[in-house]
């Protein structure tokens, strides 16, 4: 039986921007190499943390190409292709599959209150457009749609589904999905609940803070696998302490500030996000010294 390669700790990759707000492809390469050196297991490209919906379709394709080239097969690369438009999502998926991404993933279509049948059809249309395996991105807080175990059953019957990126605190559903489909990979999505997700059956995690604190997340993951629950709890405490600081300023903005301090020039988020001011400098330095520098 072939071992499942979809596991471990993946960074939901930040998209670097230059001073003019254009995608900084050189720093994208730098960030990928920086995280590989920190031991990350892979990358989730152009997702929520990557600010996908502030990017053009062409930019999303070019960012993925850049990541794949720098990664050069060393780590997993999952391409987020989700869009409100099925056609755009299919185009992004076709590009990702042809470019060599290990899998594609998609948030459910949003804004309009699509019916369940329409969302099921969206996932099947994307999955059936490409040979690459697909991960459903379940993030009800942002998309307004919550994947259920029954809906997962239906989608799995019609598409090449590899699993779910589960960004929810409904661990009852997570456990049920994994119990019904042990062959699927469930990625935990909320960083502050990494250990809880693993205990409920998740095979790994995809998270924003892993752009900065991936060694800590890896310690949670490996401590759990080794049965060292007390150790995993101590490492999880560090993730949560870091997030407590970040929430004062905005998690994505603080991640960018800390990466700048690490020498990875990711810049500011695009408007309508406002830039983070100097009031965060002291906290960012603390995060750098106490969480980003852990090995």
At 264 the pLDDT is 98
Residue 25 belongs to a domain: yes
What pTM was computed for the model?
A: 0.96
Domain CATH code at residue 161: 3.20.20.70
Domain that holds residue 94: 8-213
- Determine, yes or no, domain membership for 131: yes
Task: Tell whether 209 is covered by a domain.
Answer: yes
Instruction: Select which of 38, 75, 165, 178 is catalytic.
Output: 165
Report the C-alpha gap between 77 and 118 in whole angstroms. 28
Question: Is residue 218 assigned to a domain?
Answer: no
Each residue of 88-130: pLDDT tens digit? 999 999 999 999 999 999 999 999 999 999 999 999 999 999 9
| Number of CB atoms found within 10 A of residue 58's CB | 10
Our measurement of the distance from residue 228's CA atom to the centroid of its chain's CA atoms, rounded to an integer in Å, reads: 25
Res. 48 pLDDT band, cuts 50 70 90: very high
Q: How many domains does the chain have?
A: 1
Q: Which residue is catalytic, options 25, 122, 137, 291?
A: 137
Q: What is the pLDDT of residue 4?
A: 83
DSSP string, 185-248: EEEE--GGGHHHHHHHT--EEEESTHHHHHHHHHHHHHHHHTT-HHHHHHHHHHHHHHHHHHTT
Q: Is 137 a catalytic residue?
A: yes
pLDDT in tens, 135-160: 999 999 999 999 999 999 999 999 89
Confidence at 1, pLDDT banded by 50, 70, 90? very low
- pLDDT above 70 covers a percentage of the chain that reads 99
Percent of the chain with pLDDT over 90: 97
DSSP state letters, 113-178 = ---HHHHHHHHHHHHTT-SS-EEEEE-HHHHS----HHHHHHHHHHS-EEEEEE-SS-HHHHHHHH
């Amino acid at each position: 039986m072939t071992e499942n390669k979809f596991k471990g700790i993946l960074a939901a990759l930040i998209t670097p921007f230059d001073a003019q707000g254009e995608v900084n492809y050189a720093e994208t390469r730098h960030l990928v190499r920086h995280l590989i050196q920190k031991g990350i297991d892979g990358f989730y490209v152009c997702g929520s943390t990557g600010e996908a919906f502030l990017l053009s379709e062409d930019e999303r394709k070019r960012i993925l190409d850049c990541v794949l080239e720098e990664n050069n097969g060393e780590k997993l690369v999952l391409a987020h292709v989700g869009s409100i438009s099925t056609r755009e999502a299919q185009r992004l998926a076709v590009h990702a599959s042809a470019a060599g991404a290990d899998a594609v993933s998609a948030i459910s279509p949003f804004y309009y209150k699509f019916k369940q049948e329409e969302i099921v059809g969206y996932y099947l249309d994307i999955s059936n457009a490409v040979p690459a395996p697909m991960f459903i991105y379940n993030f009800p807080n942002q998309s307004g749609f919550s994947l259920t175990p029954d809906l997962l059953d239906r989608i799995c019957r019609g598409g090449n589904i590899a699993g779910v990126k589960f960004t929810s605190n409904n661990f009852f559903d997570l456990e049920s999905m994994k119990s019904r489909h042990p062959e699927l990979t469930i990625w935990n999505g909320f960083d502050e609940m990494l250990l809880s997700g693993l205990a409920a059956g998740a095979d790994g995690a995809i998270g924003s803070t892993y752009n900065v604190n991936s060694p800590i997340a890896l310690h949670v993951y490996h401590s759990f696998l080794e049965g060292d629950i007390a150790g995993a709890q101590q490492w999880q405490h560090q993730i949560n302490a870091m997030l407590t600081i970040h929430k004062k300023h905005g998690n994505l903005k603080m991640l960018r500030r800390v990466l700048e301090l690490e020498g990875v020039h990711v810049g500011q988020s695009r408007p309508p996000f406002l830039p983070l001011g100097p009031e965060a400098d002291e906290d960012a330095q603390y995060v750098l010294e106490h969480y980003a520098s852990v090995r």
